[in-house]
Amino acid sequence: MTKIFENNKKRNMMKRNQVKKYLGWALPVLVLAAGIIVSSIIRNSRPEAAIVVPEKKLATIRGIIARKTSFQPVIHAQGTVKAKQQIDLVPEVAGKIIWVASSFADGGMFKAGDALIRIDPRNYQFAVARARASVADAENSLALEQAEAGLARSEWEELGTGKKASSLVLREPQMAKARAKLSSARADLDRALLDLERTTVKAPFNGRVEKKNVDIGQYVTLGTNLAQLYSTDIAEISLPLTERELGEVDMSPLYGGGASGMEDLKVFLHANVGGKRRNWIGTLVRTAGSVDINSRVLSVIVEVRNPYQVTPGGAPLLNGLFVEAEIPGKKIDDVFLLPRSALRNQDEVVIVDKNDELRTRKVEVVHSTPDEIVVRGLKEGERVNISPLEVLVVGTKVKWQLDSGADGESKP
């Protein structure tokens, strides 16, 4: 009985081993087959996806349309105002100052011919009196000689010798000496009168006192510096210009246009006076005598007439004031005015051709400012790029956009 039981147990174990062996290789095959079937079902049942072709995006650049125009450059310069006439006032006679005018003070204003200082005139009045006495004495001597000469002529004629009387007989040398003495006395009188007149020191022009050096009671001699004066009729400003700037200014009226051409060379001046920006108009009248050997610039001279004549809301053009000047240059025709952002590599601009592709164009820069350039070398109606380009690839296709501030063209 026991033996039968063990035999059954062995048979059952063998069957289980066979089943495990079968499952060991059949189960993976079944799982793989099931996966293939499921994936096939999913692939066949999903909708087909649409094929999307990626769209190539174009870079957008801003620009303007080049228009041919005329341009008049403005040359900017700076200078200091000074009077056209500036002198040291000196006396021509010596003496003690007995009077000074109220305008004879630092900053005082005066007109031509105004008395500024009086020197004690008494010594010069005495000299005038002596000179007049000498003139009277010389006139009496000449009258006496004239009478003696007349008497000598009469006596010679009474002798009736028929000969011509000599100059000594007619007292002609004595007459010449008397006339010379009278002329000398009159010259001394004129000199004495002139010295007396010079005891009153008068203003030589309309102007102001820059610095007063003397006062009442001071004894002065010939050549003493009484004061520094400057005129107020005309002010001058010296404006240094480089060679390039000089080439942009029409200088022909200065050298060959005559006085009538000078009126066209207007210069606009600006400065801050009293906390406000003031304006004046001057005239370019000449250039400096030579080029500055250190800076290699040539200065032009601008004159402003009646700089102290103040209009309502204006201010005087004070001596020593630092001013900014704008000089209109020569008009340039057939050029293109572009924003400075359009310039690349100092002499190139980028244009967009008819195929919307980028191209470079060499240009000639004839004038430039911090904001604009004036060039030659473009064609009418060309589209000029003003957008910054970090990398430029010639031939790149772009999308063109007109700059909103350009009004469709370069500014005239």
Q: Which two tokens stand for residue 383?
A: 């589209």
Same domain, 168 and 247: no
Same domain, 370 and 339: yes
Q: Which of 162-176, 179-193, 247-261, 367-381 is predicted with the least confidence, judged by mean pLDDT?
A: 247-261
Q: Could you give the percent of the chain with pLDDT greater than 90? A: 43
pLDDT at 170: 67
Confidence bin at 258 (pLDDT 50/70/90): very low
Number of domains in the chain: 4
Q: Is residue 130 part of a domain?
A: yes
Q: Is residue 97 part of a domain?
A: no
Same domain, 289 and 351: no
Angle at 221 between CA 216 and CA 222, to 5 degrees: 125
Same domain, 320 and 244: yes
Q: Which two tokens stand for residue 273?
A: 């006076």
**Helical (H) or strand (E) element with 243:** helix 243-247
Same domain, 276 and 192: no
Q: Could you give the percent of the chain with pLDDT greater than 70? A: 80
Given 307, 328, 349, the domain boundary residue is 328
Higher-confidence residue: 269 or 60? 269
Helix (H/G/I), strand (E/B), else coil: 372: strand
What average pLDDT score do residues 347-370 get?
Answer: 88
Same domain, 176 and 253: no
Same domain, 275 and 258: yes
Q: Is residue 383 part of a domain?
A: yes
Q: Nearest Cα to 239, choosing from 279, 210, 270, 272?
A: 270
Q: Is residue 15 part of a domain?
A: yes
Q: How far apart are CA 338 and CA 386, in angstroms?
A: 9
**Radius of gyration over alpha carbons of the chain, in Å?**
53
Per-residue pLDDT tens over the stretch 42-96: 666 656 655 655 556 777 888 889 999 998 888 999 999 999 999 999 999 999 9
Q: How far apart are CA 386 and CA 406, in angstroms?
A: 10
pLDDT at 408: 45
Same domain, 324 and 338: no
Higher-confidence residue: 41 or 292? 292
Q: Is residue 250 part of a domain?
A: yes
Given 277, 307, 328, the domain boundary residue is 328
pLDDT at 54: 56
Same domain, 391 and 351: yes
Q: Which of 1-5, 9-13, 29-33, 106-110 is predicted with the least confidence, judged by mean pLDDT?
A: 1-5
Question: Range of 384's domain?
Answer: 62-71+332-402
Which backbone phi and psi does 371 adopt, to 5 degrees? -115, -25
Residues near 344 by beta carbon (within 8 Å), at least 6 away in sequence: 350, 360, 389, 392
**Helical (H) or strand (E) element with 137:** helix 122-159
Q: How far apart are CA 200 and CA 89, in angstroms?
A: 12
pLDDT at 24: 59
Q: How far apart are CA 176 and CA 184, in angstroms?
A: 12
Q: Which of 142-151, 173-182, 237-246, 366-375 is predicted with the least confidence, judged by mean pLDDT?
A: 142-151
Tracing tokens 């390039």 back to the chain, one arrives at 244
Per-residue pLDDT tens over the stretch 218-228: 999 998 999 99
Q: Is residue 18 part of a domain?
A: yes
Q: How far apart are CA 360 and CA 384, in angstroms?
A: 10
Per-residue pLDDT tens over the stretch 331-356: 889 999 999 888 988 889 998 888 88
Q: Which two tokens stand for residue 323?
A: 């001013």
Higher-confidence residue: 6 or 123? 123
Same domain, 33 and 66: no
Higher-confidence residue: 408 or 215? 215
Residues near 262 by beta carbon (within 8 Å), at least 6 away in sequence: 253, 254, 283, 284, 285
pLDDT at 412: 43
Helix (H/G/I), strand (E/B), else coil: 216: coil
- pTM of whole model > 0.75? no
pLDDT at 168: 73
Same domain, 237 and 298: yes
Given 328, 353, 372, the domain boundary residue is 328
Q: Nearest Cα to 210, choosing from 308, 310, 108, 118?
A: 108
Q: Is residue 104 part of a domain?
A: no
Same domain, 126 and 179: yes
Per-residue pLDDT tens over the stretch 128-184: 999 999 999 999 988 888 887 777 777 676 776 667 767 776 677 888 888 899 999
Determine how many CB atoms are found less than 10 A away from the CB of residue 341: 16
Q: Is residue 392 part of a domain?
A: yes
Q: How far is CA 127 from CA 184, 186, 191, 196, 199, in A?
A: 15, 13, 9, 9, 13
Point out which residues pair with 219 in neighbouring strands. 96
